[in-house]
Amino acid sequence: MDSYFFLILPAIAAAAFFIKGLTGFGPALIFIPVGALFFAPQSIIVASSFLDLAAGLIMWRTVRTVQSVPFMLGIVAAMAVGTVAGVFLLSYVPADTFRVLLGVAVFILGLWFAVLRTKASFDRLQDQLPEKCSRKDLGYAGASGVLGGLFGISGPPIIWHLGRQFQMSTFRDLLIVFFVFAAIARIISFSVAGLVTYETMMFTAAGLPGLLIGLYLGTRVFFRIDETVFSKTVGAALIAFAILIII
């Protein structure tokens, strides 16, 4: 294996985890499609999960608004079940069949964040979690798990669902916690499937310096912007991700 991945992957990780620090989500949507242009896609997907877990654990100390344990347990459990189903489907269904559809869905989601969400009254968005999950919460979390297992990209359904309900700090905190457990579920599933290899761990190690730089810069920017700028930034990021997925 050529050693030039130690030059390429830190740069990709820095861009990916800048978005993670800023929005609470997104590294897989950059790291996987761009990394797959240079390296084995399967190894990149697995390495992305390890990096996402590391980033989530680092960011956990900034979480302030996530206090409803029953709500979080519900969506994490639904996501875990969905992840197992997604990894199972990966063994039987060619993921590329659905990649363009996923890209189109992410593009529409980006337009909604950038345009429609900014026109809504932010005063209607909640800053506290409900006491327990609704069926919709469980459904969107489960769908995110399926996408995570199938593509390594679990964000779109849960981002759409939570983005309509919560203010930016609560939204970001929720995604930080959610994606820690999503990454754990993917890593366990990949391990059971025999997909964690020496190559994936080398890719993970190569991406860590970029991860630290990206997280630091993204987090600093997050605490300096308002709700409108945040929503437009999320929308622009999602539109860019959609184009990368389709390409």
Which tens digits make up the pLDDT trace of 147-175?
877 776 777 788 888 888 888 888 888 88
Number of domains in the chain: 1
Q: pLDDT at position 220, please?
A: 92
- pLDDT at 1 exceeding the cut of 60: no
Range of the domain at 140: 5-246
Helical ranges in the chain per DSSP H: 5-23, 27-35, 41-59, 69-90, 96-111, 117-119, 135-151, 155-163, 168-192, 198-222, 227-246
- pLDDT at 231 exceeding the cut of 70: yes
- pLDDT at 135 exceeding the cut of 70: yes
Mean of pLDDT values over 220-245: 86
Query: Contact at 8 Å (CB) between 48 and 33?
Result: no
Mean pLDDT value across the chain: 84
Q: Can you state the angle between helices 135-151 and 96-111, rounded to 10 degrees?
A: 130
Comparison of pLDDT for 194 and 64, the residue scoring more = 194
